[in-house]
Structure 1
Amino acid sequence: MKITLTAVLLGLLLSLPLHAFAAPAGGDTKIDAVLSVDVSNSMNESDVNKVSFEAMKMFIDMASVKGDKIGVVAYTDQILREKALLQINGVQDKQSLKTFIDQLTRGPYTDVAVGVNEAVKILESGGSEPGHVPLIVLLTDGNNSLNAGKSQAQSDQVLNEAVKKAKDKGIPIYTIGLNADGTLNKDVLERISKETGGKLFITSSADDLPNILSEIYASHLKLKVVPLKGFTANGEFQDVTVNIPNASVLEANISIMSSKPVEAKLVNPAGQEQKIPSDKIVYSASSAYSLIKLLTPEQGDWKLKIKGVPKEKIDINLIYNYDVQVSMELSSSISYKPGDSVPVKASLQSNGQQVTDANLYKNAKATLLVTDLDTKKTAESPLATAGQSFEGSFKIAEAHDYEVKVKVEDANFARESQPATISAKKAAAPAPAPSGSAPPADGNSGTLVGPIAWGGGLLIVLIAAALFGYSLWKKANKGFFGQMVVEVKDEDTGERTSPQYRKLNAFKGKVELHQLLQLAPEFAETKQIVFKPGPADTVVVYNQSGCVIEKGGRVFDAVQGKELKNNDRIKISLQNVNKSVTVEYLK
């Protein structure tokens, strides 16, 4: 009986696929970005027309319609002005950030360390949320120019500490050096970017900044900038084709760079001219660019019509924003040896579901990346497209540990799966029996039965404990399905916020109401109201706070948990402020 139970438990462990321990990254990734800009007086020469300000505004316009967070730091050798992370929930929030940028002024001296250090502090104080990725964009025109009260050694110490903190917290810093006079300290900016996993951009003309900011936005979200047909304006409408390749495009950002105003029209694949702006088309413009954002656009060829000032050069770029991730599966075996062939399979997922769009697979290239963790060498090999998956294998060469992941890319995006680690190191050989030892003369093996049985029992206990631990881990990391619609009502004035849609697939195991309320301090009491995944795609609410929860006008007790099904709506009356929160669960 012991042998049978052990075999069953081992079988269960061995049947667990590796991808069960390495979930794919959450979908619909949002950014937490801080734009840190040098506003020293020397920028008056490097950036006469304040194109750096326009470039930052274009970055803001390219951000998602809802969900992204953006902050701004304006520095010299001190912080002149700053705006903490603001969550974008609509056009008004973007306009608030752009108005803030327009109001920035210049000042004397420059200290790059100040701009980096404050940007890191803003991201730290803003709190991190599941599904959000941080970054810093640092714009500067060159070397430090310190006042008499500060030494270069002091500045270097602050910078080193800030860069280390950014590296430790996984915050890449993208540096942009304006090198108009040729004195840019490239080494410092390159070190900042390299150590934090960012990238350095150098330009002698501020006019390049909008394109650079576009590339940073795309690079950070694993997207690609697609140059469209540029032209020299002739004073008439000129056509440019914008292809929406598949139904997985969440947003299509069309940036039109021109130093003079342009007029734009848009025709959908059915030949119908679209109203700009509208519910599905967001339009913004400045002195350096115009940007058209298509929301969940129809697949096919759109026609963009642009009328510019005669002889004006017009450049057009396109960035698609996809809700696509890569999910990787490895062989179910948990032990390998040199010479073994390891099969690998990967697929594309969107919003937690497998993508079924055949065109997305057909046009994509999948690459298997295998890193030998002992030698630090990485080998790449192509995976074959097999319907709605990518398949292949690799052979283990040495008794080493390996990290395995899959990269999928096409002309518009690049994605990588979460890595998985496997080992081909041989288990230690059993110690040889002591010299001179021999089996009992009478052949009685009873002295071995006890240790064997004890060892078998211990093995059963250990495996059972492992399975129990795994079940607890799995329960704690169970994924959600659907989304929450959250509204806040001021009970004194009767005012309501607009409905905020919070996708739940970015959370694992549980989510506090306070997180859905963007961690606002006035709602701190809602930390004790927790939602957990329930059976059959439901959600269970637990209330350990003093808040009162009602459903259908009736108060109910959720201390032990209450199940919410599709379209269930609850009202939560807060105790510390005279406000209520309405939450509706949608599958």
Structure 2
Amino acid sequence: MKNRLQRIVPVLLLILCIAVLPFGGAAASAASAAPSHIDAVLLIDVSNSMNKSDKNKIANEAMKMFIDMLSTQGDKVGIVAYTDKVQREKALLGITSAGDKQDLKDFIDGLNRGPYTDIAVGMEEAVKVLENGSDPGHEPMIVMLADGNNDLDEASGATQARSDQELKAAVETAKQKGYPVYTIGLNADGKLNKEILANLSDQTGGKAFTTDSADDLPQILSEIFASHLKLKVVPVPSITANGDYQEVTVNVPNGSVLEANISIMSSQPVTAKLSDPSGKEVAIPSDAVLLSKSSTYTLIKLLSPEQGDWKLQVKGVAKDKIDINLVFNYDLELKIDALPSQSYRKGDTVDISSHLFSNGAEVTESSLYQDMKAVLLATDVDTGTVEEIPLDNSGAEFKGAFEIKDSHAYELKVRAEESSFYRESDVLTINAKTGTVATSPPATGAGTGEEPVTDPKSSNTLYYIIGGIVLLLAAAAAFWLLRRRSNRGFVGQLVVEVLDGNTGEKTYPQYKKLAGFRGKFTLHQLLQLAPELKESEKLVFTPGNNDRLMLRGGEGISVERSGRAADTSRGLEMKSGDRVSVSLQTVDKTILLEYLI
């Protein structure tokens, strides 16, 4: 406790110093967050009705292509396959290698279909997967592939009213936590419930897609991937294969491209060759070129590609149609510069300038700005009207001006775009009623048009307010420091084996990397949330000191180490090489765990 206080006190003193600085001295730069990683849950209806909606399981291929498009530098993917219950499930897996992607694709290949459907079951579970494993710094999302129809098992007591209620609750949770749901309605048999899927997307801030042909799914998944990361799909003219190599140009527009994803979709196998802008042939695959293939697509990923025209040669089976799409991933953020004044009133002109940043450094390449179109979006909070003001891009910046016409509150942000991506700054708020400038969202009720009422004689009120703010900040700092431990990361891996008490059979060892978890995780998460092993959620892991692992068991969980029962109620420490066994009573299985660094 003494050490903890020693860490807290300096921070509290720092906060006190910051709190008593003169108000209005902060810079007014509205900076967008750096491009984030994705935490995606792929949610798929695997009921028997999908035999007609997607008889060739193209949805599986589309999900695999989506996984291949993700970065190998920290994106996370979970999978939920449902009927009227969760058929199979995989908790969020941090992608750090091609092997991680292959594990996910193998899981998808192993999905089977079953009777009945309850869309609420899938939504509830997808939300739980994000709640249990999403990183606060990542962009969460749910991608649902379904026909939107329920087929409930009445013999089990299921009712449509209950399903509707549970779906409503799951959607509300997704909305509150910022989990957009992208829905893909499969309508091959003409029985799509378009309305329910559209509502899911509308309420959560996602987008809804529909298709009569499962062949469209790879294209739709590309658009969802691009939309979520503020990118654009760049189409390339389709090719009708003639049996020989046919050439298309892939233009890498600038040096800020982190990855270029080239997706080649066809019903027959294709082969490809690639040349860089200098004309030199580049091996596929190689250190800077990754290759993924399936029965319906080929995905070529260029890592930090050189700017210019790359030449792609594609050879397919004669008369086969080949579709090619490009999605470029960028390390770019957009910031509004600090305003020259911290107070604006009706009649004033606000000079706006905005810059692009790459890896935290300002981009000074004027050609990148000149290739983009930028506008200032000025929203009058009081009236709801939006003014779109073109910005000048002739130099290495976007600049323009906004005239404050009324004593209203305004929200300003810059949007810049070109053919393959767009970026938006955070919102800058100017309240011409009070003359204040802020980068945070306006306070509730800012659009009422009412001036705040103050008593000029009650100057002490300000000091009470400041004192209250200081106390709140101090409490927040203490809370943050106490929680800091709970947000620590993990090292090493757990080797997992499952022993069946009835048959004596033991599964092959699985090596579960722990780097993708933060703060805590349950054994159930480590076991990919398998429904029959739900009892294992009672065992919780947290990071210990010196790269140790702490585990705590709830009531009814039995843990042994070195053949002896271990007391996990107060925490059991594991160092590298330690082994424990966890007995599950409901399914007569034992989980064997070994911690390795």
TM-score range, shorter chain: 0.7 to 0.9
- Provide the residue aligned with 2:542 in structure 1: 524
Q: How many positions carry a matched residue from both structures?
A: 485
Letter in 1 for 2:375: T
- 1:142, distance to aligned residue in structure 2 (A): 3.8
Partner of 1:384: helix, strand, or coil? coil
Matches within 5 A, 1:80-91: 80-91=87-98
Larger of the two Rg values belongs to structure = 1
- Provide the residue aligned with 2:556 in structure 1: none
Contact preservation (8 Å) 2:148, 2:196: no
- Provide the residue aligned with 1:480 in structure 2: none
Contact preservation (8 Å) 1:17, 1:332: no
- Provide the residue aligned with 2:258 in structure 1: 250
CA separation of 1:300/1:501 partners in 2, compared to 1, >3 Å: closer, same or farther?
Answer: farther
Find 2:121's aligned residue among 114, 128, 141: 114
Matches within 5 A, 1:359-374: 359-374=367-382
Contact preservation (8 Å) 1:486, 1:582: no
Matches within 5 A, 1:60-75: 60-75=67-82
Match status 1:141 vs 2:141: no
Partner of 2:281: helix, strand, or coil? coil
Letter in 1 for 2:542: A
Match status 1:41 vs 2:48: yes
Partner of 1:34: helix, strand, or coil? strand
- Provide the residue aligned with 1:328 in structure 2: 336
- Provide the residue aligned with 1:553 in structure 2: none
Q: Equivalents in 1 of 2:256, 2:292: separation in Å?
A: 24
- Provide the residue aligned with 1:565 in structure 2: none
Q: Equivalents in 1 of 2:94, 2:547: separation in Å?
A: 26
- 1:406, distance to aligned residue in structure 2 (A): 0.9
- Provide the residue aligned with 2:216 in structure 1: 208
- TM-superposition CA deviations, 1:257-294 (whole Å, max 9, x none): 10000011111112111111111111011111110000
Specify every segment of 5 or more residues in structure 1 that has no aligned partner in the other structure, as ranges: 1-8, 433-450, 478-484, 491-496, 503-510, 527-544, 549-573
Find 1:229's aligned residue among 228, 237, 248: 237
| Aligned sequence identity (%) | 52
Letter in 2 for 1:524: T
CA separation of 1:345/1:500 partners in 2, compared to 1, >3 Å: closer, same or farther?
Answer: farther
Letter in 1 for 2:26: L
Q: Equivalents in 2 of 1:431, 1:142: separation in Å?
A: 58
Q: Equivalents in 2 of 1:218, 1:354: separation in Å?
A: 24
Match status 1:394 vs 2:402: yes
Q: Which moved more, 1:219-228 or 1:402-411?
A: 402-411
Letter in 2 for 1:352: G
Contact preservation (8 Å) 1:68, 1:88: yes
Letter in 2 for 1:147: D
Matches within 5 A, 1:373-452: 373-426=381-434
Contact preservation (8 Å) 1:488, 1:579: no
TM-score (norm 1): 0.75
CA separation of 1:277/1:498 partners in 2, compared to 1, >3 Å: closer, same or farther?
Answer: farther
Q: Equivalents in 1 of 2:452, 2:331: separation in Å?
A: 45
TM-score (norm 2): 0.73
Q: Equivalents in 2 of 1:179, 1:458: separation in Å?
A: 63
- Provide the residue aligned with 2:28 in structure 1: 18
Match status 1:266 vs 2:284: no
Partner of 1:524: helix, strand, or coil? strand
Contact preservation (8 Å) 1:251, 1:322: yes
- Provide the residue aligned with 1:124 in structure 2: 131
CA separation of 1:303/1:15 partners in 2, compared to 1, >3 Å: closer, same or farther?
Answer: same
CA separation of 1:326/1:139 partners in 2, compared to 1, >3 Å: closer, same or farther?
Answer: same
Q: Equivalents in 1 of 2:70, 2:411: separation in Å?
A: 33
- Provide the residue aligned with 1:507 in structure 2: none
Q: Equivalents in 2 of 1:153, 1:343: separation in Å?
A: 55
Q: Equivalents in 1 of 2:38, 2:171: separation in Å?
A: 19
Partner of 2:543: helix, strand, or coil? helix
- 1:180, distance to aligned residue in structure 2 (A): 1.6
Partner of 1:243: helix, strand, or coil? strand
Contact preservation (8 Å) 2:32, 2:426: yes
- 1:313, distance to aligned residue in structure 2 (A): 0.7
Letter in 2 for 1:138: M
CA separation of 1:18/1:31 partners in 2, compared to 1, >3 Å: closer, same or farther?
Answer: same
CA separation of 1:110/1:272 partners in 2, compared to 1, >3 Å: closer, same or farther?
Answer: same
- 1:125, distance to aligned residue in structure 2 (A): 0.7
- Provide the residue aligned with 1:506 in structure 2: none
- Provide the residue aligned with 2:362 in structure 1: 354
Find 1:578's aligned residue among 556, 576, 579: 576
Partner of 2:104: helix, strand, or coil? helix
- 1:128, distance to aligned residue in structure 2 (A): 2.4
Letter in 2 for 1:137: V
- TM-superposition CA deviations, 1:349-404 (whole Å, max 9, x none): 11111112222111011111112222222221111115221111111122222211
- Provide the residue aligned with 2:183 in structure 1: 175
Match status 1:188 vs 2:196: yes
- 1:195, distance to aligned residue in structure 2 (A): 0.4
Q: Equivalents in 2 of 1:352, 1:178: separation in Å?
A: 42
Letter in 2 for 1:295: L
Contact preservation (8 Å) 1:142, 1:179: no
User: What value does the CA root-mean-square deviation take over the aligned residues?
Assistant: 3.7
Q: Equivalents in 2 of 1:117, 1:499: separation in Å?
A: 26
Contact preservation (8 Å) 1:76, 1:111: yes
CA separation of 1:362/1:471 partners in 2, compared to 1, >3 Å: closer, same or farther?
Answer: farther
